[in-house]
Structures are given as structure tokens and as C-alpha cells.
Amino acid sequence: MIKSIATVGLALFLSGCAATYTLGTKKFDNEQAFQAAVEDERTQALSQVQKLPGPLTKKKLIAALPSEQALYAENSRRHTAVTGKPLMGIGIEQNNNMSKFAYKMTKVFFDGVQKRGIYSSVEIRDMPSMAVSIEPSQEYDVLYFTEPSVGSGQYFYASAKHGKQVFAYDRSGEGVTAKVNAFIEAAQVQAIKE
């Protein structure tokens, strides 16, 4: 999700057009309306998640993703690398909004897993870099998103029993709610394997 967001964001930065944003099929003319729509999508996706009667595993899950600040800094760095110029004017506003969007739309997956109650507990960590990597232990598994270079964004799941593996989930669903549900289902499969 971050890869496509960064691509759209970079295109907006390079286009020099007025700051407009699109979410699904809806277009927004200002950052407040766009961020309100993003928050509404998150809220709707999380409101339909049903808590399990009890955890599927006694293990804890540590979930990690690049922080909003890390996304902003990396988008700025990538823009400068492509254009030879730092972000200015409307590009700064767009980077700010796209970084918030990317962070919220990645974190909603982890929030959904936490709300579902699959694990004995879930700790969500904001990481200071795009190159995220954490190690599992006997007490906890890890699930994280990393994008060390453009277009390399990937989720990974690691456990002491099975090691590190690509965390695959069905991305074909339409909208945030369908994608959150698919992500939760994939996390449940990992928990059951333990």
C-alpha cells in the first residue's frame, strides 16, 4: 500500500498542480477533507472487526511499521534524489498529507489484528526508519512492514519456530475494510500455525 501511495505522492509532487487528493473514487480539494475521509475509512474498517472469545495463541505479537515522520523524511529524500531539488511550497503540504495517509492506512491493519484479539497481546511500534526489521523470541512473534528502497515494500512475519517469511494476504478485495479483513485472516493463520 505504501509503495502505491509513494508513487502517487511523487507524481503529485512532480506535477506542480494544485493540492487535490483522491481516495477511492472521491476527490478532495483540501487536506482537512481528505484527512477526514481517511479517518472515516479507518473507523469503518475497524468498527466491523469482531473480537474473538479468546486469543488463538498465548504468544504476544510485536507489530512494527515506519513512523509518520520516517515516511515524511523518506518521501522528501526520494523527491530530492529524483529531482535534485528539495520539496517546496505545495510539495511540502502534499508530502505531509500523503505521509499521514500512508501511515494511517498501514497502521489500520495492525489495529485490526489487535482488536480481533488473536494474540495474548499486541504491541504496535512506530519505527524511525523505512528499513524495519525486528527479531522474534519464544515469547512473541513479529509482523512488520519494511520498504528500504523504492518499490520494495513488503510485510514480513517471523517466529522462533518458523523463522522469517513474507507475510502474504489477499489484496484483491475492494476498499479498506476488505483489505483489513484479509490481513486479519492471514494473521490468524500464522497464529494457529504456532
pLDDT tens-digit series, residues 12-30: 444 445 678 988 889 998 8
**Cell representation of residue 100:** 499521514
Q: Give the DSSP per-residue string, 12-24.
A: HHHH-----EEET
Task: Give how far Cα 22 sits from Cα of 11, 26, 34, 87, 178, Å.
Answer: 13, 6, 8, 21, 19
The whole-chain average pLDDT of the chain stands at: 90
pLDDT in tens, 19-58: 789 888 899 988 999 999 999 999 999 999 999 999 999 9
Q: Is the pLDDT of residue 10 over 70?
A: no
Q: For residue 65, name the pLDDT band (cuts at 50, 70, 90).
A: very high
**Burial class of residue 139, CB neighbours in 10 A (0-12, 13-18, 19+):** exposed
Which pLDDT value is given to residue 79?
93
**Distance from C-alpha of 95 to C-alpha of 182, rounded to nearest angstrom:** 28
Region class of 24: left (phi > 0), else alpha (psi between -120 and 50), else beta: left
Shortest CA distance to 46 belongs to which of 187, 186, 173, 183?
183
Q: Is the pLDDT of residue 2 over 90?
A: no
Name residue, grid cell 495492525. 110
The answer to whether the CB of 3 falls within 8 A of the CB of 130 is no
pLDDT in tens, 124-162: 999 999 999 999 999 999 999 999 888 889 999 999 999
Q: Is the pLDDT of residue 5 over 80?
A: no
Which pLDDT value is given to residue 15?
46
**Residues 110-134, mean pLDDT to the nearest whole number:** 97
Which pLDDT value is given to residue 7?
46
**Cell representation of residue 151:** 518499490
What's the whole-model pTM score? 0.86
Which pLDDT value is given to residue 17?
56
Which pLDDT value is given to residue 110?
98
Which pLDDT value is given to residue 18?
67
Domain total in the chain:
1
**Distance from C-alpha of 114 to C-alpha of 112, rounded to nearest angstrom:** 5
CA atoms 83, 87, 91, 94: torsion sign: positive
Length of the chain as a residue count: 194
Which pLDDT value is given to residue 6?
45
Whole domain around residue 183: which residue ranges? 2-193
Q: Is the pLDDT of residue 179 over 50?
A: yes
